Chains A and B, each alone.
Chain A
Amino acid sequence: DAGVIQSPRHEVTEMGQEVTLRCKPISGHDYLFWYRQTMMRGLELLIYFNNNVPIDDSGMPEDRFSAKMPNASFSTLKIQPSEPRDSAVYFCASRSPNRNSGYTFGSGTRLTVV
């Protein structure tokens, strides 16, 4: 199994531009989570999906952030327009139907907004 795959690994963009981060979960996993990691705030849960349906998006910081999961094998996190304070590492994680199995994380996307 290739694990959770995120792309791109690094993204540098100018303030005001649209940014799209991508995630492919592990096949058979029915939960998908998006996290943001910064030095100041640590790991923050942004949103999670179950069977492609968004369950809790209370962690999404503002309307500039949106996430979709059009099918079981793909999810996107979009920031439009981006701002320098969005600079962080964004992680995607997926989980099997067994809630005690823990998450499998992707390698993350390091976003820098200049």
Chain B
Amino acid sequence: GNSVTQMEGPVTLSEEAFLTINCTYTATGYPSLFWYVQYPGEGLQLLLKATKADDKGSNKGFEATYRKETTSFHLEKGSVQVSDSAVYFCALSVDSSNTGKLIFGQGTTLQVKP
């Protein structure tokens, strides 16, 4: 079946540290991959996406590269800020009938300390 596995949190970093949140997936077909972010008390927001192998999604200093050979879509940021503290969700969409149903990972909490 289709599934997403994320590294467990919380991930605690100091401001300006380098961030990696690991995400691996299992999918039939050719998935599209997404990262969503959820700030406290809010809904999920699309952070970035990649729709085919070797694509790199980027937004707000975050990047993730779609690696088909390792079935991974790790999220990275070179220098985190306190305002990046949130829960990050990796997700995939595998769909031949265009439902676009997303399968989410369990989420990884990031805490950035000043």
Interface residues of A (CB under 8 A from B): 4, 31, 33, 42-43, 45, 48, 50, 55-56, 91, 93, 95, 97, 99-100, 102-108
Contacts and interface: CB of A to CB of B under 8 A. Distances in A.
Interface SS of chain A: helix, strand, loop or mixed? strand
A11 B112 CA distance: 31
Contacts of A97: 98
B93 A99 contact: yes
A100 B51 contact: yes
Interface in B14-44: 32, 34, 36, 41-44
A55 B95 CA distance: 14
Interface of B: 32, 34, 36, 41-46, 49, 51, 89, 93, 95, 98-102, 104, 106-107
Given A42-B104, A105-B36, 19 more contacts: A31-B99, A43-B107, A45-B102, A48-B99, A55-B99, A56-B99, A99-B32, A99-B95, A99-B98, A99-B100, A100-B32, A100-B100, A102-B36, A102-B46, A102-B49, A102-B102, A103-B44, A103-B102, A107-B43
Contact of B43 (A50, A56, A99, A106): A106
A48 B45 contact: no
B43 A100 contact: no
A45 B101 contact: yes
- Would you list the 7 A-B pairs with minimal beta carbon distance, nearest first? A99-B100, A105-B43, A102-B46, A105-B44, A43-B104, A42-B106, A100-B51
A105 B45 contact: yes
